[in-house]
Amino acid sequence: MLATVIHAARDIRLEEAPDPRLSGTGRDAIVRVVAACICGSDLWPYRGVVDTDEPHRIGHEFVGVVEQVGDAVTRVRRGDFVIAPFYDCDMTCAHCQNGVSPSCQNGNWWGRDDRDGHLADGAQGEFVRVPTADGSLTVVPGPVDDAMVPHLLALSDVMGTGWHAAVSAGVSPGSTAVVVGDGAVGLCGVIAARQLGAARIIAMSRHADRQALARAFGATAVVAERGDDGIAAIMALTDGVGADAVLECVGTAESMDQAIRAARPGGRVGYVGVPHGGAELPIRSLFSRNVGVAGGIAPVRNYVDALLPLVLDGTIQPGRVFDREVPLADVAEGYRLMDEREAIKVLLRP
């Protein structure tokens, strides 16, 4: 099959790779990828911010059709259209049961060896072996309309991650929410804040196309400024009080600083941007203003059961964050589009 391999910074190649086969554990499945995508976090190695010591498979978001299942698999059948989370998990261990499936005691990441020593393929390829099919995969009922594919694919990562930001920030009915970051996750955070009942949603964005999508998703105001000017704008919009809930969807020290300062005393920051840069959380300013910080690697598998019905009935359309679609053969061009911000998020079709 063909699969994407990152060799070094800005060196993305589609290469021949071994067709995945069932490992013999009985728990796995082979999924033919219908759609995959490129994540903002894939840009860290692409840009060389994270080192690539040796070539490895990449990609962690996909939907597809089940081709084969192991003997012990019971919830998933050949021919099912399935959504995979951006990690493998069993959904039966204590952490999965506690709602934190990325901490699964038997979990794994795509593109790495699973607990039995077999490769779990990266997702930017034609097929993926899913080590724990009954845990990881969510079956989409009925025939799947092609127009629905982007929205389903968003449940693999960005929609659930935006949801986690909103839940972690404690967005509640009638609250005022600020969303820091206008990437796909931040935009999905706007959707989430709306669904969770926020009365006011302030999106921080400097790009016209993203501002427009944020408003379409439910943002009631947009702030283009950053730094002190950005905080001044937030305060002007909130009678000098600050926001009840702030969604931090970037992961830099600057964005976290914006988020913390945008929160009112007693407010909460929900953060899902993978932390980059050396800054830790400033305990004294958090303490003095009673600003809480929660979040982390989003448990999208735990959220999908609640979000899938909202996608299927059209209540939310998170797939609109995919503003470019390219064939898998052009995956390197997809990375370039994302890197140069010519696309919010690129969908790949094998």
- List residues binding a second copy (CB under 8 A): 94-95, 98-100, 102-103, 168, 239, 241, 244, 256, 264-266, 268, 271, 274-275, 279-284, 286-297, 299
DSSP-based three-state secondary structure for 278: coil
- Which positions ≥6 away from 83 have C-beta within 8 Å? 63, 137, 138, 140, 152, 153, 155, 156, 304, 308
- φ/ψ of 127, rounded to 5, equals -140, 155
Minimum CB–partner distance for residue 280 and a second copy (Å):
4
Q: How far is the CB of 182 from a second copy (least distance, A)?
A: 21
We find the least distance from the C-beta atom of residue 257 to a second copy, in angstroms, to be: 12
Minimum distance, C-beta of residue 206 to a second copy, in the bound complex (Å): 25
C-beta of 180 vs 348, nearer to a second copy: 180
Amino acid at 42: D
Nearer to a second copy, 285 or 315 (CB): 285
Report residue 177: phi and psi, to 5°: -120, 140
Both structure tokens of 277: 């840069």
CB nearer to a second copy: give 61 or 244.
244
Beta bridge partners, 6, equal: 12, 56
Find the shortest distance in angstroms from Cβ 12 to a second copy: 26
Looking at the DSSP bridge assignments, the partners of residue 324 are 346
Closest CB to a second copy among residues 26, 265:
265
Q: Which is nearer to a second copy, 7 or 112 (CB)?
A: 112
Nearer to a second copy, 10 or 109 (CB): 109
How far apart CA 191 and CA 247 sit, in angstroms, is 12
Which tokens hold the place of 73? Answer: 């698999």
Least spacing, CB of residue 293 vs a second copy, in Å: 6
Question: How would DSSP label each residue in 163-207?
Answer: HHHHHHTT--TT-EEEEE--SHHHHHHHHHHHHTT-SEEEEE---
Which amino acid type is present at position 312?
L
Which amino acid does the sequence have at 121? Answer: D
Q: Which is nearer to a second copy, 98 or 315 (CB)?
A: 98
What's the min distance (Å) between Cβ of 251 and a second copy? 9
